[in-house]
Amino acid sequence: MFCDADDDSTDGTGGIHGRRRVPPEGHTTVGTHMDSTHLAATPVGMEVRAEAKLLEVDGKKLVFSVEAYDEKDCIGKGVHTRFIVNSGRFMQRRQKSQYRASRYRCE
């Protein structure tokens, strides 16, 4: 998953840098929080689509508005927070946590 983000930082002369890739090469994002509201039920077989809009970039933190629609109405909306992490380090930690999880189960 990646998106382009407006970069509103300046170069000291008042010029705006433009757009940048989020996340940068060698990085990925992980979801840390989801706050959503269910607005309507969708009949079985009806197509559903989702939309996300990047609202905020604060360092490594990305905040999105999310909405889901069926063929008739908006069926849900919310806010989703993700953080940019180094892909290699994340996968190393993930493998270690899977090992720990296989030995110690939360009950």
User: Which token pair is 52?
Assistant: 């996300």
Report if residue 16 sits inside a domain: no
Question: pLDDT tens across 25-60, in order?
Answer: 889 999 999 999 999 999 999 999 999 999 999 999
Average pLDDT of every residue of the chain:
79
Domain that holds residue 78: 29-103
Report if residue 51 sits inside a domain: yes
Which of 68, 65, 79 is CA-nearest to residue 34? 79
More confident residue, 97 or 43: 43
Is residue 92 over pLDDT 70?
Answer: yes
H-run or E-run covering 94: helix 87-103
pTM of the complete model? 0.66
State percent of the chain over pLDDT 90.
Answer: 54
User: Which token pair is 34?
Assistant: 């989801």
Cα-based angle 93, 97, 63 (whole degrees, multiple of 5): 60
Report if residue 20 sits inside a domain: no
Report if residue 83 sits inside a domain: yes
Report if residue 19 sits inside a domain: no
Report if residue 64 sits inside a domain: yes
Distance CA 10, CA 19 (A): 12
Report if residue 9 sits inside a domain: no
Report if residue 81 sits inside a domain: yes
H-run or E-run covering 90: helix 87-103
Tally of domains in the chain: 1
Is residue 1 over pLDDT 90?
Answer: no
CATH of the domain at 99: 3.10.129.10
